[in-house]
Structure 1
Amino acid sequence: MDTVAQLTIVRHGQSTANVAFADAQACGLADHGLTGRDADIELSPLGWQQATHLGRWLATRPADQIPEAVVCSPYRRARQTWAQAADTAATLGSPHPQACIDDRLGDRLMGDLELLTPLMIARRFPAEAARLAADGLYAYRPPGGETFDDVAARIGAVLTDLNSRHAGQRILVVAHDAVVVAVRHLLDRLSFTDLDAILTVTPVANTSLTRYVHADGRLALVEFAATPHLTG
């Protein structure tokens, strides 16, 4: 077997930025009050609860479904998600691996537009808002930031390394919705246009699970953006 046996990707729990962005948009505000770096954004109270639910669900998995290695984004919200989930599972008698941090699993870099809502971009950088509209979300490169092709390139390198180092093993990745999109682009050979249509119907929710298993010499999608573990 030249790939991992199973690849599960978890998006981090709800973050304080997720809440602030939604509140600002709902109220039509051009400011959300956030400061600092995106990488330092923490989980919201709901995000901690979601991570706890994830840990409880992990504790119910049979031995042959427990991940043999965990790889995590360096962003605080992702690290907090796994720490809370793993601690919860361990308390329930199901120890899980400590996460290895891979800097390549970070969220899409937005450069000068980091932590800005669409309205904030339109007000502060109208030329960039126009360029974003012209290029489209996936092809647009923010000043000092990344396109989705850039994200896919670094995630492709992560997948290559995982397959090389962990062939035949069950791997859990804790990261971001952009990482899930990049993985589906690479493994399912879907264009970003096709993915956009899928995401309109099934967004990558906080703490959702996307899972691939090895079949017929490749990793095949068996679950996408699933959330039953949050309500069970």
Structure 2
Amino acid sequence: MSTVATEGSTRGPAEIVLVRHGESLGNVADRAAIAAKAHRLDLPANDEMIDLSEEGQRQADALGRHLGRLPAEERPTVVISSPYQRARSTAERALAGLDLEVLLDERLRERELGIFDGVTWYGIKADHPEESDRRDRVGKFYYRPPGGESWADVVLRIRSLLVELQARYPGERVWLFSHEAVILAFRYVLEGLEVSRVLALQKEEPIANCSMTRYADRDGALELQARDDVSAIEDESAVTREPSHAEEGDQ
């Protein structure tokens, strides 16, 4: 059950749809690094500037065609994206056929990994064993890498964003383009999940690129209607997910 009340359709969005960005060059590099047990990803850009792969572009375009086929009463009325290039590009390509502005909100950005940006779990274990030990002591949800954010930090910005969405967009169909960790943070807040459950979901049910997780107002609360829905893209592009053993990040 949702923990965020909306008091019927008079308060808060009528619908929130969470879209993970299409496959990125970082996703491709991450899979290659994990396969090679490399310590770092081979990437030329910082996390903010990582763009879509060719497959990710196809996924975003397929989502756009899906949106174009929806009846007017089911299309988004408000679109907000993470400012990170892979999410912004996904939103812009998907919305190319609709007369909607893509708004940007930094609270939808990926979880910041600080000094571990671009470092694989193999690299952390080998080169920073003291941080690996500290993470084990503190616990994954509250562990904050040097210069980065904990999962709890991401949850705090999502709580802030939800309050603003409720106040600014009553009755609207709000689509948010973001990242895996952020979508899981939404699930944690909206569904009242236990910490252990939301962390298990990252490994057990990795979120597909360009998938949709949908919540709708039901009797004053936002309730989950669909999660990790890839029906919009699966007939036109590959469905891609992170390796289930990946420990950190969503490049």
TM-score per shorter chain, which class?
A: over 0.9
Q: Quick one: structure 1 residues 96 and 190, their matched pair in 2 at CA, closer, same or farther if it must change by over 3 Å?
A: farther
Q: Tell me the SS of whatever aligns to 1:47.
A: helix
Would you say the 8 A contact 2:23–2:209 is kept in 1?
Answer: yes
Matching residue within 217, 221, 225 for 2:224: 221
Would you say the 8 A contact 1:14–1:43 is kept in 2?
Answer: yes
1:96 shift after superposition: 4.2
Looking at structure 2, the residues matched to 15 and 141 of structure 1 have their Cα atoms a distance apart, in angstroms, of 25
Is residue 77 of structure 2 the alignment partner of residue 74 of structure 1?
Answer: no
1:24-173 equivalent positions in 2, closer than 5 A:
24-87=33-96, 90=97, 95-173=98-176
Matching residue within 202, 207, 212 for 1:209: 212
Aligned to 2:180: 177
Q: CA RMSD in A?
A: 1.3
- Point out the structure with the larger helix share: 1
Where does structure 1 differ by over 4 angstroms across 4 or more consecutive aligned residues?
A: none
Opposite residue 115 of structure 2, the aligned amino acid is D
Would you say the 8 A contact 2:82–2:104 is kept in 1?
Answer: yes
Looking at structure 1, the residues matched to 69 and 99 of structure 2 have their Cα atoms a distance apart, in angstroms, of 12
Aligned to 2:249: none
Q: Quick one: structure 1 residues 122 and 200, their matched pair in 2 at CA, closer, same or farther if it must change by over 3 Å?
A: closer
1:145 shift after superposition: 1.1
1:90-120 residue CA offsets vs partner (Å, 9 max, x unmatched) = 1xxxx14111101111110111111211112
Question: Percent identity between the aligned chains?
Answer: 36
Which structure 1 residue ranges, 5 or more long, are not aligned? none
1:201 shift after superposition: 3.4
Would you say the 8 A contact 2:78–2:175 is kept in 1?
Answer: yes
Q: Tell me the SS of whatever aligns to 2:95.
A: helix
1:108-166 residue CA offsets vs partner (Å, 9 max, x unmatched) = 01111112111122232221122223333322110111111110111111111111000
Looking at structure 1, the residues matched to 163 and 32 of structure 2 have their Cα atoms a distance apart, in angstroms, of 39
Looking at structure 1, the residues matched to 194 and 47 of structure 2 have their Cα atoms a distance apart, in angstroms, of 27
Would you say the 8 A contact 2:13–2:170 is kept in 1?
Answer: yes
Instruction: Give me the TM-score of the superposition, normalised by structure 2.
Output: 0.86
Q: Tell me the SS of whatever aligns to 1:229.
A: coil
1:41-97 residue CA offsets vs partner (Å, 9 max, x unmatched) = 11111111110111111111111111111001010001111111112xx1xxxx141
